[in-house]
A and B are shown apart, each in its own frame.
Chain A
Amino acid sequence: MGGHIRIVTDGVADIPPHLIEQFKIKVVPIYLLMGQTSHLVGVSANYGWFYRQLLTSDVMPKTAAPAPAEFLQAYQALVAEGARDIIGLFASANVSSLYSHAMLAAQQLTGATVHVFDTGQVSMGIGWVALMVAEAVARDASLDEIKALIMQSCARATVLGMLDSPEYLRRSGRVSWAAAKLVSLLQIKPMIAFAAGEAQLIGRVRTHQRALQHMVDTVMTMAPLQKLAVLHAHADPAVITRLSEALAPYAPDPSPLLVEVGPIFGAHVGPGAVGVALVRAGDL
């Protein structure tokens, strides 16, 4: 059985490199356009260059989904490595065309079956679903079990983000209410919850301290948790540590997994954002 089921995800997923390697997860990279320069963003341990550029220039980064052909190449590479079933876990179709491109490519693949899922998630929200599937594959779970696991974990996954400024999300144009709800005459740090394909504004605060308190209070209402990661986009290390320590009691492991989010999600939340990606505990 081992090796016949493989997982493919996209560059939004923000899974740390060591876990990508451990579970042999394939990542389809995404185009990041910074002015005239185009980068291909997949897996990396260090995105400091991106956030520094974001902070020091006026260039608004743009992201673009790879063509279906690029998904097809990723699938074909897995087939060449012996995959019979490929589990494709992609960013919410509500906010990107990755899922539809992945679907188009899946129809063209020969030699294996691609099971494509819209996780309804972003960043480590996708990442957790992929890692939970990877763990299931590692313990030789059946395809049916894996599909049930995906349904349940997608439904229980939430990403919470506390944005240092609403600007990046607003300018990205991907959240329909952003213009109406985020424009104000005062500096506001919005708190966003992303679940089941929908981004919602769940809080507005003006200071870091209250932002963290709000985040911890919200996580508390979702406990017990099966997975918990602390996300950060080039945020103040002291803030990350404070959040991580405050959330430790809710983490299923001794401490939450620390994840620096990549440029694709980072371009939407902006530098200085902190957040969590969690999966609520359930039966599976």
Chain B
Amino acid sequence: MGERGGSESVYSLDGHDLKFMVAAALSWLRQHQAEINALNVFPVPDGDTGTNMMLTMTSAWSEIADVEEENVGRLASKVAHGALMGARGNSGVILSQILRGFARGLDSKGYMSAADMPVALNEARDTAYKGVVKPVEGTILTVMREVAEESALAVQETEDLQCVFERLVQRAKSAVARTPQLLPVLRQAGVVDSGGQGLFVVLEGMLRYMKGLSVEEIERPTASATLAIQVHEAPHDLMTEALHFDSNYPYDVQFIVAGHALDVAGMRATIEAMGDSALVVGDPQTVKVHVHVLDPGIPISYGAKCGSLRDVVVEDMQTQYEAYIAGREAVPASTFAHAGVLMPVEEPPNIAVVAVAAGDGLQKVFRSLGATGIVEGGQTMNPSTAQILAAIDQSLSDSVIILPNNKNILLAAQQAAEVSQKHVAVVPTRSIPQGVSALLALDQQATLDGNVAAMLRAAKEVITGEVTWATRDVALNGIDVREGDAIGLLDGDLVVDAESFGEVVDWLLAEVELEDCELVTLYYGEGMDAAQAEALAERLSEIYPDLEFEVVEGGQPHYPYIISIE
């Protein structure tokens, strides 16, 4: 790529200069792509802004990469055409509109002087605003508008294009920084507008070429860094709003119509009436359409009537949204179930499952596996029939399965089942691992009786180890136990007494026929921490290299470890 001197003043730019400026803008966008993508935290997964703008610019560049064109206006037209063809996402389409207006403003001029800048940029601004059906301030549009305004001011003071660009970049930067003041969603999410930031990067890349600075280096330019962008998750009410909005128009439809004498304004009016977020841009030969609709067939059929269709993309935003939600690892699914509104409204299951568990972690595990009712309780705190009955009655299904997960709760569960008006069955699980295994085998398509049999079979396929401390002196199974000793039980039988809980786990595993086993899950209880449990798992996996160890926070009282071996 060519390098300019940088220090001298620039009074005109020709096609060759513009070509290098486009290359510089593309290169600069590429480097800042990830950072722009990171600004796209609004949970309508409409694609990544940085990537979309970069790909749009790439398409513009491919159009001119092999072209030697001295005439700046003609080169700008080629750039605009390339950008239009490759435009992706809202931000990419608006960028292509800006380039298109800019080209039209230059009007086939042989070279560009400072005086041409306001004309071209005003046209760029107008074209950008026209491309969007309902322009919103605090976006790339605002940045474009301010940049155009700045160019008019700048050319009154200087004829040096480098000075003009310098001012445009400064103005773009401050306009981007102000976007959160104009657009509440940005403020709530704590970010600046990503499309506006992208436009700033484009202009800055061009300026760097004029100044003879490299655009290939990896280091961040100070201008971007000083924006002090804070990226954090959008607040809850924002996400609710987004879900609401999405479900009105769940499909994101994009396509290009090619034809002769296409009526762009007429098409825009028609498409606008079909849905939301409509963007209809182009020229009489090519029109790019982007719209959110209820039925994707409607705009596609309409487009096919206007001309021939290309690059048809239909995306299900609800699915993307759910994937987005699910991707937020930090927030377990159960939290969404509580929040209610955030969860897509689902039919109640055919068969509801009520599980008895103590400890936050274990309750979350059961919820995440599909249990709809949780009754607090466990080894030392057995829930009453009434408590279990209340959970049965609260569930939205007529058929309910109860997982007591403890032999001392079995009877209360059976009693609740008898008293209830609903179809209730008890799968007599005796431990947490058995309950988990049973729940995994639940098949919503099968009958209640079929499920009870399958779930009980699954429960018996897992071996349960429990680690606790002795509450009194006892001699059992030939083992002498002193009060306070660490002890281990295997499927309910006392098998080991040892110095420490870790040692008990060692002995428990040694007692099990591990030949056919693959996975050991350690649910660590109240008072233990993740690091201790991880260290234990790591030590065990050295002893048993063929076994996989998984550590899960159980939070159960009185039992430092509950172990599932399968």
Contacts and interface: CB of A to CB of B under 8 A. Distances in A.
Interface of A: 67-69, 97, 100-101, 104, 108, 170-176, 178-188, 202-210
Interface string B338-371: 0000011010000000000000010011001110
Interface string B516-539: 111101000000000000000000
Given A207-B518, A207-B519, A186 B327 contact: no
Contact of A185 (B311, B368, B441, B517): B368
B566 A207 contact: yes
B240 interface: no
Contacts of A180: 322, 326, 333, 343-344, 346
Nearest to A204: B440
25 contacts: A67-B311, A68-B309, A104-B309, A104-B312, A173-B319, A173-B320, A175-B319, A176-B318, A179-B325, A180-B326, A180-B333, A183-B368, A184-B368, A185-B364, A185-B365, A185-B369, A185-B552, A186-B368, A187-B550, A204-B369, A204-B440, A206-B519, A206-B566, A207-B566, A210-B461
Contacts of B70: none
Contacts of A186: 365, 368-369, 436, 521, 550, 552
Contact of A209 (B310, B344, B440, B518): B518
Nearest to B553: A185
A181 B440 CA distance: 11
B323 interface: yes
Contacts of B326: 170, 178-180, 182-183
Contact of A184 (B309, B320, B333): B333
A62 to B, nearest CB: 10
Nearest to A207: B518
Nearest to A181: B370
B218 to A, nearest CB: 15
Interface in B433-490: 436-437, 440-441, 443, 461
Given A68-B312, A180-B346, 11 more contacts: A170-B323, A171-B327, A175-B319, A178-B322, A178-B323, A184-B369, A185-B365, A185-B368, A185-B369, A206-B437, A209-B516
B405 to A, nearest CB: 15
A178 B423 CA distance: 29
Q: Which of A101, A174, A175, A184 has the most CB of B within 10 A?
A: A184
A176 B316 CA distance: 9
A175 B343 CA distance: 16
Given A180-B346, A186-B550, A97 B312 contact: yes
Interface pairs A-B: 8 shortest CB-CB: A179-B326, A179-B322, A173-B323, A184-B368, A183-B333, A207-B518, A185-B368, A204-B440
A179 B443 CA distance: 18
Nearest to B54: A36
A171 B369 CA distance: 19
Contacts of B346: 180
A67 B310 contact: yes
Given A180-B346, A185-B368, A97 B314 contact: yes
A207 B516 CA distance: 10
A74 B244 CA distance: 42
A184 to B, nearest CB: 4
B313 interface: yes
A100 B521 CA distance: 46
A185 B334 CA distance: 10
A97 to B, nearest CB: 6
Contacts of A207: 517-519, 566
B457 to A, nearest CB: 11
A271 to B, nearest CB: 16
A178 B333 CA distance: 12
B238 to A, nearest CB: 19
Interface string B500-527: 0000000000000000111101000000
Nearest to B442: A204
A174 B441 CA distance: 24
A172 B323 CA distance: 8
Contacts of B550: 186-187
B332 interface: yes
Contact of A205 (B320, B322, B440): B440
Interface in B176-201: none
A67 B368 CA distance: 40
Contacts of A69: 310
A188 B309 contact: no
Nearest to B337: A180
Contact of B518 (A108, A185, A208): A208
Contacts of A181: 370
B141 to A, nearest CB: 29
A109 to B, nearest CB: 13
A104 B308 CA distance: 9
